[in-house]
Amino acid sequence: MSAEIIDGKAFAKQLRERVGAISADFAAAAGRKPGLAVVLVGEDPASSVYVRNKGKATIGANMESFEHRLPAETSQEELLALVDRLNADPAVDGILVQLPLPSHIHEQTVLTRISPDKDVDGFHPVNAGRLATGLDGFVPCTPLGCLMLLKDRIGHLAGEQAVVVGRSNIVGKPMAQLLLRESCTVTITHSRTRDLFEHLRTADIVVAAVGIPRMIQGEWLKPGATVIDVGINRTEAGLVGDVDFDSAVKVAGAITPVPGGVGPMTIACLIRNTAVAAHRNAGIALDR
């Protein structure tokens, strides 16, 4: 038996097209396009590629892209002043500060300066609190993309046993909150968890966000489980996930590949969040 391969690339393309249509309707109603501002400090090559791809996806979805590339020696005060200007700019619906920031800048100080209503990355503590308490807010893009893939494959998730491996603020914790919101029974595991495989053995849903190449073995999985691999690890063998794909594909019911699984969903969810922000900021209802 071999698992169904979940095609995140195709799903993400459809989502980007849907958002493009929503943005065109928004522009007709509001007299302006939704706008996303992306801020990059320094010249980290991977970050530079991410920012370029985000800009392309934004324009491709009929939105305005405002790119701010600042030198590595930019001071925290200068960066905060830019965030303040973007917060006040009515053409900007969403603000994203690309991480990591240079070490002389305190990330949390910058992230909490972004207006929660323009925080399309969903990293502001106010949005984390909204997610945890069931209020409308912005949900971090990667876990949101994972949830969309899970719902597309499984339908209703209520009652499913879900194990999230990893507890970071940007993936593991919001993922667990989203699964809880869907009425899954959620277990969060991390580096201090004893006998990880004992938890995985009973999991209908596994979301792996660890950062260790091919750590999760097929033999640890429940036969038929749906496995979402968030990991992006650069190895000599190329890009690999946190799940050992070759052994997992023989046991799982469905699995995301790396690359081509969760990765493309992140940017698609970013532009979706920007479209939602634009509607909220302009007071226009969004009913699809």
Which residues are the active-site residues? 54, 98, 121
- Alpha helix segments (H runs only) across the chain: 8-30, 45-60, 76-88, 107-111, 125-133, 141-154, 172-181, 196-200, 245-248, 263-282
| Residue 189 found at the interface with ligand NDP (CB under 6 A) | yes
Q: Annotation-wise, does 192 bind a ligand?
A: no
Interactions with ligand NDP, residue window 43-102 (CB under 6 A): none
Q: Is 166 annotated as a binding residue?
A: yes
Residue 114, annotated as binding a ligand: no
Distance CA 270, CA 255 (A): 23
Q: Is 168 annotated as a binding residue?
A: yes
Select 206 or 262, whichever has its Cβ closest to ligand NDP: 262
Q: State the nearest-atom distance from the C-beta of 225 to ligand NDP, in Å.
A: 17
Q: Which of 148, 157, 171, 243 binds ligand NDP (CB under 6 A)?
A: 171
Residue found under tokens 């939602």: 276
> Contact letters (x/-) for ligand NDP, 196-225, by CB under 6 A?
x------------xxxx-------------
What residue type is 258 in one-letter code? V
What b/e readout covers 213-228, taking b as 16+ CB neighbours within 10 angstroms? bbbbebebbbeebbbb
- Tell me the angle at which helices 172-181 and 141-154 cross, rounded to the nearest 10 degrees: 40
167 binds ligand NDP (CB under 6 A): yes
Whole-number Å distance between alpha carbons of 171 and 164: 9
- Please work out the total of residues on this chain that contact ligand NDP, with binding judged by CB under 6 A: 26
Q: In terms of residues, how long is the chain?
A: 288
* 267, two tokens: 């940017």
Omega before 125 within 30 of 0, i.e. cis: no
Does 142 help bind ligand NDP (rule: CB under 6 A)?
yes
Among 170, 254, 271, 278, binds ligand NDP (CB under 6 A): 170
Tell me the HSE value of 29 on the side-chain side, using a 13 A CA sphere. 14
CB of 71 to ligand NDP, least distance (A): 25
Helix or strand holding residue 68 (H, E): strand 64-70
Q: How many CA atoms lie within 13 A of 46 on its CB side?
A: 6
Residues numbered 248 to 287 that lie near ligand NDP (CB under 6 A) are 262-263, 266
**Among 232, 255, 269, 270, which residue sits at the site for ligand NDP (rule: CB under 6 A)?**
232
Does 9 contact ligand NDP by CB under 6 A? no
Nearer to ligand NDP, 137 or 257 (CB): 257
> Looking at beta carbons only, is 183 or 191 nearer to ligand NDP?
191
User: Measured from the CB of residue 135, what is the shortest distance to ligand NDP in angstroms?
Assistant: 24
Q: Is 177 in the site for ligand NDP (CB under 6 A)?
A: no
Strands 35-41 and 94-97, sheet pairing: parallel
Residue 174 interacts with ligand NDP (CB under 6 A): yes or no: no
Return binding residues for NADP(+). 166-168, 232
Residues engaged in binding ligand NDP (CB under 6 A): 142, 165-168, 170-172, 189-193, 196, 209-212, 230-233, 242, 262-263, 266
